[in-house]
Amino acid sequence: MKTLGLLGGMSWESTTAYYQRLNRLARERLGGQHSAKLLIWSADFAPIAAMQAADDWAGATTVLVEAARRLEGAGAEALLICANTMHLMASEVQAAVDIPLIHVADATAARLKARGAARPLLLATRFTMERPFYRERLSSLGVEAVVPPEADRERLHAIIYDELVQGLFEPASREAVIEIAERAIAGDAADSVVLGCTEFGLLVEPDDFPTPVFDTTEIHARAAMDFALEAGP
């Protein structure tokens, strides 16, 4: 089994979900007392969130590049950025190390296409929904994502930063996410929903939506475990 390096803490609520899912996958696939081989760098999210809000993506990139190099130096054989939004600097992180970066959008696009979904509704932070890095990555792989209207994007962003990353999971916010999705699906004829924020899987369930749901945390973890267990040198 290869060792995976997790760039986490963004937020630690969802990094905990990554840790649990990776270990459960290792046990499911190998049986007995097996667990995943992991190295975790966990950020203090407040300074990074402040950089995001200030549009200081260069500063955030510097933080992640340094962390990626530390994980590689500690023995990681592949990297996961445990946050969809922070894939904005995925290419810079990959260029800074000699080990592969398992990209969440690549894994998500592959799962969507395998299930016959081509026009998903993307629910995520405002950065992920509005900046081109994520939707263009999906588009290059044959998946054309749509996003909710501006007011709904702002509401989703507030739920993530004001509640979910702080461990608050409010029933009213769960209902709001579901209602936003239902309106957008009806208006844009989306054929599926992508939970493109790693915390959304902690708030809502697949059965809450009228179309197939793709949880990027689950998909990313499965892709990482596939890599960790694949045969090779």
Cis peptide before 11 (omega within 30 of 0): yes
| Residues near 201 by beta carbon (within 8 Å), at least 6 away in sequence | 14, 17, 195, 215, 216, 217, 218
State the pLDDT at residue 188.
75
Which among 225, 219, 222 is positioned nearest to 117, based on CA atoms?
219
Structural domains of the chain in order of their starting residue, each with its CATH number: 4-103+219-229 (3.40.50.1860), 105-215 (3.40.50.1860)
| Residues near 147 by beta carbon (within 8 Å), at least 6 away in sequence | 121, 122, 129, 130, 135, 153, 184
pLDDT tens-digit series, residues 208-218: 999 999 999 99
pLDDT tens-digit series, residues 171-204: 999 999 999 999 998 887 799 999 999 999 999 9
Three-state DSSP class for residue 88: helix
pLDDT tens-digit series, residues 53-82: 999 999 999 999 999 999 999 999 999 999
pLDDT tens-digit series, residues 130-177: 999 999 999 999 999 999 999 999 999 999 999 999 999 999 999 999
- Asked whether the whole model's pTM tops 0.85, one would answer yes
State the pLDDT at residue 91.
97
